[in-house]
């Protein structure tokens, strides 16, 4: 008796197998994103940090709210380039799908480690999180791209995800609360469909904010649209048009996306913790503009820089950008370690370090910033060692 695999896995790749030209700007932007992510995730004192280094409390937007969607956007772009590179080395769809599946599972499991380190108590383990969301979105967009490399179906899916999420959040009654805008405010902190669903799946000890989780199940739908936006951008970047034309079109798309997100915000507020559809468009547009700017200052120079001749300005971002996941995981484990060590009763090592800085810089917000910068610098050291030795950890 013989068995057959799904046809899309056995079929020969119809995707282009041409070896992709590497855009250094992608590594630079990824590195900048990771550096800022580590900075804002590790404020010396969250309450006293500058506003731009904190997430919006609920509706609204700060520069910090751009970090995660930009990284997820870059995941979508990287999917295109990594797929093309593996096809150039003779990989089949079947082997690529298995690679995507293994990588997604590993990312999800690493997310559980990051969330639980160093105690790993099952009754408080958080199953949502940054890496689990990346794993789920990556698995879906990469699989869809392997099934069909065309852009139209991806664009349609992104539109459906954004529209469908808006319909769910705006018109579907929340059990026990009522209909949004009629019985309860739209996007009420706890009386919204996303928070309600997460509470049905997990108890409060498994949710980041106890009554809700910023990386919850339902909000993964619009997050998928963010990754698809990156996938579509990657498809566009792989066309044969002049790089200047591609960058200009990306900038135009970015402006339009920001405007659409701003308009939608009037009826469906921008909200990072709920990953609203307006937030996807607004943050996605800013990510597109950042990419266009990165292309301009890095790859559109008269001579594109290489690893051997890039400027000193780009070097720190390349260090983080070429080992992004490793840098993020290291930073999270380091922070958990500092928080778990208590030199004095009721005071952990992170607090001791922050208080020592306040003796030199009494201003609380500035002291918090100094702590964050120092934390980023500490994280940069081991990652720079990997970079100098040309060790690039690929999950």
Per-residue pLDDT, 21: 63
Range name among 6-10, 39-43, 318-322 with the lowest pLDDT average: 6-10
Per-residue pLDDT, 307: 47
The C-alpha atoms of residue 29 and residue 73 are separated, in whole angstroms, by 11
Confidence of residue 374 (pLDDT cuts 50, 70, 90): very high
Q: Judge contact between 49 and 43, C-beta under 8 A.
A: yes
Per-residue pLDDT, 329: 97
Q: Is the pLDDT score of 14 beyond 80?
A: no
Q: Is the pLDDT score of 392 beyond 80?
A: yes
Burial class (CB in 10 A: 0-12, 13-18, 19+), 203: exposed
Range name among 14-23, 69-78, 313-322, 325-334 with the lowest pLDDT average: 14-23
Per residue in 81-135, pLDDT (tens digit) is 999 889 888 889 999 999 999 999 999 999 999 999 999 999 999 999 999 999 9
What's the chain's average pLDDT?
A: 91
Q: Is the pLDDT score of 291 beyond 50?
A: yes
Spatial CA neighbour of 72 closest among 240, 279, 345, 298: 279
Per-residue pLDDT, 46: 87
Task: Please state the rounded mean pLDDT for residues 316-329.
Answer: 94
Per residue in 28-72, pLDDT (tens digit) is 999 999 999 999 999 998 888 999 999 999 999 999 999 999 999
The C-alpha atoms of residue 9 and residue 254 are separated, in whole angstroms, by 35
Q: Is the pLDDT score of 310 beyond 60?
A: no
Domain boundaries, the chain: 21-54+305-395, 59-303
Q: Retrieve residue 42's tokens.
A: 């590790």
Summarize the chain as % helix, strand, coil (round to 5): 65, 0, 35
Q: Retrieve residue 284's tokens.
A: 């996605």
Q: Is the pLDDT score of 266 beyond 80?
A: yes
Confidence of residue 346 (pLDDT cuts 50, 70, 90): confident
Q: Retrieve residue 290's tokens.
A: 């950042």
Task: Give the highest mean pLDDT range of 43-47, 176-180, 308-312.
Answer: 176-180
Q: Please tell me the pTM assigned to this model.
A: 0.91
Share of residues in the chain with pLDDT > 70 (%): 92
């Amino acid at each position: 008796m013989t068995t057959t695999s799904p046809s899309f896995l056995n079929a020969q790749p119809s995707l282009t197998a041409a070896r992709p030209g590497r855009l250094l700007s992608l590594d630079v932007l990824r590195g900048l994103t990771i550096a800022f992510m580590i900075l804002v995730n590790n404020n010396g004192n969250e309450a006293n940090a500058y506003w731009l280094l904190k997430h919006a409390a609920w509706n609204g937007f700060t520069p910090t709210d751009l970090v995660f969607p930009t990284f997820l956007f870059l995941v979508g772009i990287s999917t295109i380039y990594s797929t093309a590179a593996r096809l150039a080395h003779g990989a089949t769809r079947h082997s690529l799908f298995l690679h995507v599946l293994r990588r997604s599972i590993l990312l999800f499991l690493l997310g559980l480690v990051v969330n639980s380190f160093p105690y790993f108590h099952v009754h408080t383990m958080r199953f949502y999180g940054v890496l689990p969301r990346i794993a789920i979105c990556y698995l879906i967009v990469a699989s869809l791209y392997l099934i069909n490399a065309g852009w139209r179906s991806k664009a349609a899916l992104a539109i459906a995800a954004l529209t469908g999420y808006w319909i769910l959040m705006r018109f579907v009654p929340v059990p026990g609360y009522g209909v949004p805008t009629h019985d309860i405010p739209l996007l009420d902190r706890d009386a919204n469909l996303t928070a309600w669903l997460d509470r049905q799946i997990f108890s409060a000890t498994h949710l980041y904010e106890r009554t809700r989780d910023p990386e919850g199940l339902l909000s993964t739908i619009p997050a998928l649209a963010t990754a698809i936006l990156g996938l579509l951008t990657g498809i566009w970047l792989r066309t044969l048009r002049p790089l200047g034309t591609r960058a200009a079109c990306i900038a135009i798309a970015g402006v339009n996306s920001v405007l659409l997100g701003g308009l939608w915000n009037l009826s469906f507020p921008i909200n990072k913790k709920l990953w609203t559809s307006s937030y996807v468009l607004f943050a996605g547009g800013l990510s597109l503009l950042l990419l266009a700017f990165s292309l301009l200052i890095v790859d559109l120079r008269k001579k594109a820089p290489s690893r051997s001749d890039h400027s000193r300005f780009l070097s720190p971002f390349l260090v983080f950008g070429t080992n992004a996941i490793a840098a993020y995981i290291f930073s999270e484990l380091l922070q958990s370690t500092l928080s778990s060590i208590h030199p004095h009763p009721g005071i952990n090592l992170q607090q001791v370090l922050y208080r020592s800085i306040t003796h030199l810089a009494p201003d609380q917000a500035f002291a918090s910033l100094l702590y964050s910068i120092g934390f980023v610098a500490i994280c940069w050291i081991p990652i720079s060692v990997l970079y100098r030795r040309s060790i690039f950890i690929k999950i």
